[in-house]
Amino acid sequence: MASPTPPRRRIVGVSTKMYFTFAQTHSYITSVLEHLSAPTSPPPPRPPRSPDSQPRIPASSSSPDDLLSKIDVFILPDHVSLHSTVMRLAHTPIQAGAQDAHHEDRGAYTGFVSPAVLAEVGCRIVELGHAERRRILGETDADAARKAAAVVRNGMVPLVCIGEKTRPPRAAQSGEEDTEADADGAAVVAAVAECTAQVEAVLSAIPETAEVILAYEPVWAIGAASPAAPGHVAGVVRGIRALPCVRDRGRGTTTRILYGGSAGPGLFAKLKDGGVDGLFLGRFAHDPAQFARTVREVADA
């Protein structure tokens, strides 16, 4: 009897890229934890207490553990700040991850970061294949595949960025396509075609039972004023899930797909019915309050 496919657990993460100093990263994480612990609404007024009644025990505020029991959360700092981030998050459900790794565990690779060392210091997730690394450093699908294999080999989860370069019609860029039915079919098909090679390269390099997270980030939406339209995202995500390499993965294996690309608060409610499992955040989440707000929105949607 085939193992049932487990439900896909929602997930939210943020990359700080190279925006923060070491001290700012520490302050950011401290502030995120404080915002996740803070009650979302003021407590109700207490009724008058009679002289004979027992003293009331003040209600405690919620902890990150309460909220994060419903959702996975990760933070990807720069490499220098990673170990201190791991230590800071050690007693919380939040996972610390890295923004890249080399495909070899050790060797004469000056300036690169070993996946074995990342695993040793407690890294759980490793981002791979981001459009900025492809553009600036010329990284390819084959590079992402080799790195994904190294990440899995060292017991971590690859977070693989995928996305089309081709700009769709204006409606898909401006948010006018609210549902998948509104989406431009040709633009969706073209986007899925561009993503297919990226997905196939990575999934062919790792075991069928390995956990992997795909971050759908249209290249044209990264750093834009607004995210891709919900209808366009839903159509592309559905197309990715229909790929045989995704659909036919090992028994009991799930592949979660996040949306990234100018993602921020208020977006997930528009995407949740389109097969999107969460958000991969950038600059909008560098404000701890906005990051915590987005985590709550995804957890409660």
Annotated catalytic residues are: 130, 217
DSSP letters for 182-212 = GS-HHHHHHHHHHHHHHHHHHHTTS-TTS-E
Rounded-to-integer distance, Cα 259 and Cα 217, Å: 6
Q: How many CA atoms lie within 13 A of 16 on its CB side?
A: 28
Q: Residue 20 in 3-state DSSP?
A: coil
Query: Is the CB of residue 286 less than 8 Å from the CB of residue 35?
Result: no
Query: Is the CB of residue 156 less than 8 Å from the CB of residue 186?
Result: no
Residue entry with tokens 């996040």: 258
The two structure tokens encoding residue 75? 């933070």
Whole-Å CA distances, 74 to 11, 280, 288: 8, 9, 13
Q: How far apart are the first and last CA of the chain?
A: 33
Q: Residue 58 in 3-state DSSP?
A: coil
The two structure tokens encoding residue 30? 């401290």
Beta bridge partners of 213: 159, 256
Residue entry with tokens 């998050």: 89
